[in-house]
Amino acid sequence: MSSAPPSSTNPALSQALRELDVILANAGVGIVFVKARKLVRCNQRYAEIYGFDSAEAAVGHSSVELYATAQEARGLGARAYPVLSSGETFRGEQMMRRQNGDMFWAHLTGRLINADDPADGSIWIVDDISERKLADAALADLHAEQQLIFDHAMVGIVFLRGRRVTRCNRAFEQLFGYGPGELDGQLSRAWYLSDEDWKAAGDLCYEPLSRGESFHAEMLLGRKDGTPVWCEVRSKAIDRSDLSRGSIWITQDITARKRVEQELVNAKSQLEALVEQRTQQLSQTVAALEQKVAEQQAAEAHIQRLALFDGLTGLPNRHLLADRASQAIDIARRNDEPVAVLFLDLDHFKNVNDSLGHRVGDSLLMQLASRLRGTVREQDTVARTGGDEFVLVLPQTDVAGAAHLAAKLMALASAPFQVDQQELTVTPSMGIAMFPTDGDDFDTLCKCADAAMYRAKRDGRNAYRFFTSEMQAQSARALLLENALRRALERRQLSLHYQPQFALDAGGAARIVGAEALLRWQHPELGWVSPVEFIPIAEASGLILPIGEWVLREALSQLRRWDEAGLPQLTMAVNLSAVQFRHDDLPELVGRVLAGTGVPAWRLELELTEGAAMDNPAMAIAVMNELDARGVRLSIDDFGTGYSSLSYLKKFRVGKLKIDQSFVRDLTEDAEDRAIVDAVIRMAGALGLQTLAEGVETEGQLAFLRRQGCQAVQGYLFSRPLPADAFAEFALARTMVSV
């Protein structure tokens, strides 16, 4: 109280009043005396609360103006009066007004000074509680906000105490399929799938919660109906030092996320599988590519080998041989050393192929190749140059060395070969030429070795021969004859002789039925040259084609002239070389000549050697069919000297077999020849073929042939080949005789 206390004579009272003043001045609350609604005294704090400049400035003011309105002032009075008047203390909160017009909440405590007389006034203690009010409001707001969040949160929130639900939001109930309030007071076991899960979760969360950390986990929980639901759970103790105060759990349904995660895992593993598969495919592709490249390289290597090596035996071929031989000869020339060139050819190898098949023949050649390879030295070359032809080039080898090796090769080539279950034997014929004696280059040496081999064959095969000067002379003659033969036609040195052919009639007579045209060559210096010598030269040089055509035309023209001269209707046999037979043009040529000479086709008989037909039977059949279609007849010449397959013979369009004179010659002495001739005649009969025996010189031969059923003969017994005029004479005379 700011007004000075009344001076008193009583010192104790004065002291008490002074003390009271100090208390009032320093009180933390406002204190005021009010009498008749007027402020009588107040302390400093009161003045501060209401915004008076000082305690003294407040004195005299109406208490009513301290309220928001007069009505409110009256309202408080009405509430306080009954309490005060009964001598009690009034307590209440009231909105009040400061001097500057601001409103504030005040806590009022009032009491009458004299309960018996309210007119003595009242004393009020005023506390400014505006700040507390504001704090309360803020707290209430916060609480309301929290409640809002709690009620409308998208996540489930549950408060647990002693593992029981004290409170949970709607989201939590819905997450697990419960109705509102249904979970209140329930054990948390309700949303676990099993007791074990529940216990495990309790064990797991205890530790972090007691440390004040949050517990975080993804759990598979269960709805009310038992369906599982993946949840993400976060939990925290409300008071980490006192877990009994419970915990809050925030729970979120992550089933969809889990599903997406699972799908992601699936997609990832699918992707990985795909990548794996692609990788595999790629590596397969790479492997295939590598294989392709390897195959291509192998193919190229193969082609290279083919170019230089023989496909069957793997030996060097003609090209590589020439290369190696030239090198060997160059070196030998520089070092003044000898080189041997050896030709090796199997005798009658064609028979093996024809009778046993090419597979057997190939196997034999492969075995022979390895035997040859195994016999020679490292620096020697063994090459295969044709079917059964091998060439060996032997550096630093003299005549003695070559002879030694040749003898060794004879033995090794003649040793039996094992093919499948069969044992085969073949014999070789060999020719040897020496560098530098026989020739200075590989070409010449080859010709010499070939000639020597030819001689070995002529000498009965299964032998080896060195090239000699005599052979040299012979090959010189062959060259001479070839050159001379080139002009023989135009120089009219060629002519035809005709040998009569006879049919053996049942009555014992021999009736002239035809003639065989035989080529003759008379050279001004060389004299008569035998067809046995010049025909092979004509064949090798190709001259046989124009010469053969001339023979055909000349023989058929002669036949026409004989017709005109009154000879009986004879057939004309004309020899065909294998070279002519192989020529595409043959059937047309024959047709042309027949037409040109006007001779009917049936009167022409073409003689073909066994070899020419058997060389390429398929081609032979085709040509024979064409000739047969033109009406031309065919016979097989020198039958028995070559090698005929019966199965082909049946398919050949031939009408006649000419039994070779070599079998006829010794018929009377040689039982074996008789057996052969007998067999040929009977076989021909079985095949529906005629037989004509060549080279019949004696009555004994004729008698035998007649007995065996041979249908026709020709030979010196009847006549030698004759010039055309002589033949005509002979034929007319014979016809007269037999008539």
Residues at the contact surface with ligand C2E, assessed by CB under 6 A: 499, 517-519, 530-532, 535, 551, 575-577, 607, 637-638, 661, 694-695, 697, 714-716, 721
**At closest approach, how far in Å is the CB of 495 from ligand C2E?**
11
Q: Which does 463 bind (CB under 5 to 8 A by kind): Mg ion, ligand C2E, none?
A: none
Cα 716 to Cα 5: distance, rounded to the nearest angstrom: 199
Cα 58 to Cα 40: distance, rounded to the nearest angstrom: 8
Cα 642 to Cα 615: distance, rounded to the nearest angstrom: 10
**At closest approach, how far in Å is the CB of 738 from Mg ion?**
24
DSSP E strands, 223-347: 228-237, 247-253, 339-346
Q: Which does 450 bind (CB under 5 to 8 A by kind): ligand C2E, Mg ion, none?
A: none
Q: Which does 695 bind (CB under 5 to 8 A by kind): ligand C2E, Mg ion, none?
A: ligand C2E
Q: Which does 531 bind (CB under 5 to 8 A by kind): Mg ion, ligand C2E, none?
A: ligand C2E
Which one-letter DSSP state was computed for residue 694? -
Q: Which does 577 bind (CB under 5 to 8 A by kind): Mg ion, ligand C2E, none?
A: ligand C2E
**At closest approach, how far in Å is the CB of 739 from ligand C2E?**
25
Q: Which does 501 bind (CB under 5 to 8 A by kind): ligand C2E, Mg ion, none?
A: none
Query: Is the peptide bond preceding residue 436 cis, with omega within 30 degrees of 0?
Result: yes
Residue with Cβ nearer Mg ion (41 or 665): 665
> Residue 572 is which amino acid?
M
Residue with Cβ nearer ligand C2E (128 or 638): 638
**At closest approach, how far in Å is the CB of 661 from ligand C2E?**
6
Gyration radius (Cα) of the chain, Å: 71
Residue with Cβ nearer Mg ion (253 or 638): 638
How wide is the angle at C-alpha 614 spanned by C-alphas 612 and 616, nearest 5°?
85
Residue with Cβ nearer Mg ion (361 or 721): 721
Residue with Cβ nearer ligand C2E (169 or 661): 661
Q: Which does 518 bind (CB under 5 to 8 A by kind): Mg ion, ligand C2E, none?
A: ligand C2E
What's the per-residue H, E or C state across 422-441? EEECCCEEEEEEEECCCCCC
**Which residues would be at the binding site for Mg ion (CB under 5 A)?**
575, 607, 637-638, 694
In contact, 210 and 240? CB cutoff 8 Å: yes
Distances (CA, A) of 359 to 412, 420, 616: 21, 10, 17
Nearest to 483 by CA among 529, 548, 433, 551: 529
Q: Which does 715 bind (CB under 5 to 8 A by kind): Mg ion, ligand C2E, none?
A: ligand C2E
**At closest approach, how far in Å is the CB of 303 from ligand C2E?**
41
Residue with Cβ nearer ligand C2E (440 or 725): 725
**At closest approach, how far in Å is the CB of 577 from ligand C2E?**
4
Residue identified by tokens 């005021």 is 32
Residue with Cβ nearer ligand C2E (63 or 577): 577
Q: Which does 721 bind (CB under 5 to 8 A by kind): ligand C2E, Mg ion, none?
A: ligand C2E
Which one-letter DSSP state was computed for residue 89? P
Q: Which does 188 bind (CB under 5 to 8 A by kind): Mg ion, ligand C2E, none?
A: none
Cα 409 to Cα 390: distance, rounded to the nearest angstrom: 12
Which residues make beta-bridge pairs with 713? Answer: 502, 693
Which one-letter DSSP state was computed for residue 20? H
Residue with Cβ nearer Mg ion (208 or 531): 531
Cα 627 to Cα 594: distance, rounded to the nearest angstrom: 12
**At closest approach, how far in Å is the CB of 519 from ligand C2E?**
3
Q: Which does 737 bind (CB under 5 to 8 A by kind): ligand C2E, Mg ion, none?
A: none
Cα 599 to Cα 420: distance, rounded to the nearest angstrom: 55
**At closest approach, how far in Å is the CB of 597 from ligand C2E?**
16
**At closest approach, how far in Å is the CB of 298 from ligand C2E?**
49
Length of the chain: 739
Cα 723 to Cα 520: distance, rounded to the nearest angstrom: 10
Residue with Cβ nearer ligand C2E (222 or 715): 715
Q: Which does 499 bind (CB under 5 to 8 A by kind): ligand C2E, Mg ion, none?
A: ligand C2E
**At closest approach, how far in Å is the CB of 705 from Mg ion?**
15
Residue with Cβ nearer ligand C2E (214 or 698): 698
Task: Give the list of residues 6+ apart from residue 389 with CB closer than 8 angstroms, or none.
Answer: 343, 344, 345
Residue with Cβ nearer ligand C2E (430 or 538): 538
In contact, 498 and 514? CB cutoff 8 Å: no
**At closest approach, how far in Å is the CB of 659 from ligand C2E?**
11
399-414 helix and 358-375 helix, angle to the nearest 10 degrees? 140
Task: Give the list of residues 6+ apart from residue 230 with CB closer than 8 angstroms, or none.
Answer: 218, 219, 220, 221, 253, 254, 255, 257, 258
Residue with Cβ nearer ligand C2E (128 or 694): 694
**At closest approach, how far in Å is the CB of 642 from Mg ion?**
11
In contact, 77 and 67? CB cutoff 8 Å: no
